[in-house]
Structure 1
């Protein structure tokens, strides 16, 4: 009976994995197709000659990288610039605020922590117009500022994640550091940050994925085409000469999805460790 149950679990997990991977596989199949087949309406789920896929995919990727309509290289640089600034701000500010909530005893910390958690319930469309008005008054509309400046003031979910991780670290380490003459900044820098590396990687990866895939933010705050990010650049492929070049669109999507997948695979162990540890103590 136990063997049958284990087999059913593996079969179910295999089916779920296949369903999850199907969109990625289909994206690669379309990216490896030929433009003429799409124009003639003759593209099928599987290519007629599987051996043609690598060559077609390489050709389509080269077309995307050198196409003047998309200017993929510029959009990639813009996205990387925004992602680096935003991720750096989120990691630094969220870690500092989380340390204050987890380790510093001060009046009103718990009510303020609950208030901060409540901000996660506010959807972005509610604050979209106030944010646009504020950044317009600051003269930041049409710049990258609105996309990365808020990250340096903390992120509620990242603060919660880091705070939960800091709560799992024994306070005896703080006491030992104080005996050696460390203050709060010394404890934060020399004790907490090295031990919180998995949680820091989780925060960085999650915010990198958010910034990398963000479409609404750049659409609202950017006004010049040479400032577009990858998400906005992909939209340019949706209508060109009255048709959508699906093979080029999927090739550009492959280039956009690829870095995130590679980054996750490289940090998978630390990601799982950070997620599993951050919720063990409240």
Structure 2
């Protein structure tokens, strides 16, 4: 019985054979090139994670331990009194429901309208569409605070004041979302649409059966960002909502801050609870945010 052995000879990028010294020298150089960037990234990650961990661990500390000297990173006495007090002091379930309705409905409408608008601006040639695109893009140059007063007047005159729809409707169309979809649809070859038309697909069929599946990474990215925006929005719901039963979580958390003192144990615990839906949303959908192959089905 004859045994055979395979010897692997290291080569460079051009396929030339290297001796062991050259291969070892190249491995060391590659390690040195990656060591500094990796170390810097880990240092930045730790710097960004440290305040978040301090905030999270502080929510498990009793009130007297938050400002004791010297400060301790880990709680000396773990307690859930802050979470129990937060659930008792505010109607957390009602505020959570209000915020979920506002964020979910706004996100669904935002993704739908931004996708259709971006598709029209990218794939249909018409002079007035170009003017519309410039008008939408110019909205990114205005700070949100500048248009708060006119938006409030419009919402009030439409009879939507102190209503969740008064918060939802003005937040539907975002220039950033339209621009994201427009730039994505521009990269899709027109030959794909022409082939679908030859096969008898309607314009609606092309959009819903071809374009939207290809734009799934953009849809999910915009959905996560839009949900986060609406979930954390504070200023606009504050000027639109006056009934405490219709408050969102951010307004309810601000109500915990008194005129003279702040109950930090309750505020920290309630803030952690308000973050949990966003963390769960990101963990569920992060694996879907990947690039799509838009050249599927096309020949070179």
Q: Residue 216 of structure 1 aligns with which residue?
A: 235
Structure 1 residue 7 corresponds to structure 2 residue 26: no
CA distance, structure 2, for counterparts of residue 238 and residue 223 of structure 1:
18
Quote the offset at 1:159 in angstroms: 0.6
What is the TM-score when the length of structure 1 is the normalising length? 0.86
Structure 1 residue 111 corresponds to structure 2 residue 131: yes
Q: Deviations over 1:220-246 (max 9, x none)?
A: 100111111011111122128x43221
Q: Deviations over 1:199-258 (max 9, x none)?
A: 110111110000000000111100111111011111122128x43221221111111122
Verify the 8 A CA contact 1:218 1:229 in the aligned structure 2: yes
Higher Rg of the two aligned structures: 2
Given candidates 253, 257, 261, the residue that maps to 2:279 is 261
CA distance, structure 2, for counterparts of residue 217 and residue 243 of structure 1:
25
Task: Give the total of aligned pairs.
Answer: 265
- Superposition pairs for residues 113-192 of structure 1, below 5 Å? 113-152=133-172, 154-192=173-211
Q: Deviations over 1:108-163 (max 9, x none)?
A: 333331221111110111111111111111111111122111244x2210011011
Q: CA, structure 1 residues 273+34, in 2 after alignment: closer, same or farther (shift >3 Å)? A: farther
Q: Deviations over 1:252-273 (max 9, x none)?
A: 1111122212222322233354
Structure 1 residue 97 corresponds to structure 2 residue 156: no
What is the TM-score when the length of structure 2 is the normalising length? 0.82
Greater shift after overlay, 108-117 or 198-207?
108-117
Verify the 8 A CA contact 1:70 1:236 in the aligned structure 2: no
Q: Residue 22 of structure 2 aligns with which residue?
A: none
Verify the 8 A CA contact 2:151 2:170 in the aligned structure 1: no
CA distance, structure 1, for counterparts of residue 248 and residue 117 of structure 2:
29
Quote the offset at 1:43 in angstroms: 7.8
RMSD value over aligned CA atoms? 2.1
Pick 1 or 2: higher relative contact order, CA cutoff 8 A, min separation 6. Answer: 1
Gapped runs of 5+ residues in structure 1? 278-282
Q: Which structure dedicates a bigger proportion of its chain to helix?
A: 1
SS at match of 1:264: helix
Verify the 8 A CA contact 1:198 1:271 in the aligned structure 2: yes
Q: Residue 8 of structure 2 aligns with which residue?
A: none
